[in-house]
Chain A
Amino acid sequence: AQSVTQLDSQVPVFEEAPVELRCNYSSSVSVYLFWYVQYPNQGLQLLLKYLSGSTLVESINGFEAEFNKSQTSFHLRKPSVHISDTAEYFCAVSDHWAGNTPLVFGKGTRLSVIA
């Protein structure tokens, strides 16, 4: 069975400061990895994903995440956050080999950017 651990439930950070949201997973099989974001009063949106290839993946709004197989981690980082990044962030995994399998989510990290 797969599981995802997001160690921080809440992360407050000042505007323009860097941030790292941590995600660790456990799985007996190869996985795909995802970060979803939920802005206030909206649904979940895919932020970025790792399927294969380069272990560093980037989103269009400046976030990046690096797949580290040895540490079973997929931490999300941004060098300089904006007020608009305030949201809840979810790390998720799915089975690499089974095809269109359900996502297994972490509990989420609520990022609050302070002016």
Chain B
Amino acid sequence: EAGVTQFPSHSVIEKGQTVTLRCDPISGHDNLYWYRRVMGKEIKFLLHFVKESKQDESGMPNNRFLAERTGGTYSTLKVQPAELEDSGVYFCASSQGGTPLGTDTQYFGPGTRLTVL
């Protein structure tokens, strides 16, 4: 079974440009999460999809970030326009859903390293 995949693995863009990150969760997983790690800091939650619906987007830093999960399968995270402080590693995770009291394991992808110059 394929794990969580993310594309691209690295992206280097200039301030003001647009970047779109993609995450393919494990097949059949209803829950999809985006996290970000800025250099030297902890991994922080951005948002959570249940199927195609946004369950929690309290971690999204501002309206330059737009996440979608059309059809409840893969997800994209677009940053437009990118700023210097957006640099970091963006992780995607998925979990199955349907188990009691949130005991699902979150499986993480390898991350996308975004550098904004």
Contacts and interface: CB of A to CB of B under 8 A. Distances in A.
Given A42-B110, A107-B41, A100 B102 contact: yes
Contacts of A104: 45
A32 interface: yes
A43 B43 contact: no
A49 B59 CA distance: 24
A11 interface: no
A44 interface: yes
B104 A100 contact: yes
A53 to B, nearest CB: 12
B31 A43 contact: no
Interface residues of A, number: 27
Q: Which of B56, B103, B104 lies at the interface centre, i.e. has the most chain A CB atoms within 10 A of its CB?
A: B103
Given A90-B43, A107-B42, A100 B31 contact: yes
B56 A102 contact: yes
Given A43-B4, A102-B56, A32 B103 contact: yes
Nearest to B96: A100
Q: Which 7 pairs across A and B sit closest by C-beta, in order of nearness?
A: A99-B102, A102-B45, A44-B108, A43-B110, A105-B43, A100-B102, A107-B42
Interface of B: 3-4, 31, 33, 35, 40-45, 48, 50, 55-56, 59, 91, 93, 95, 97, 100-111
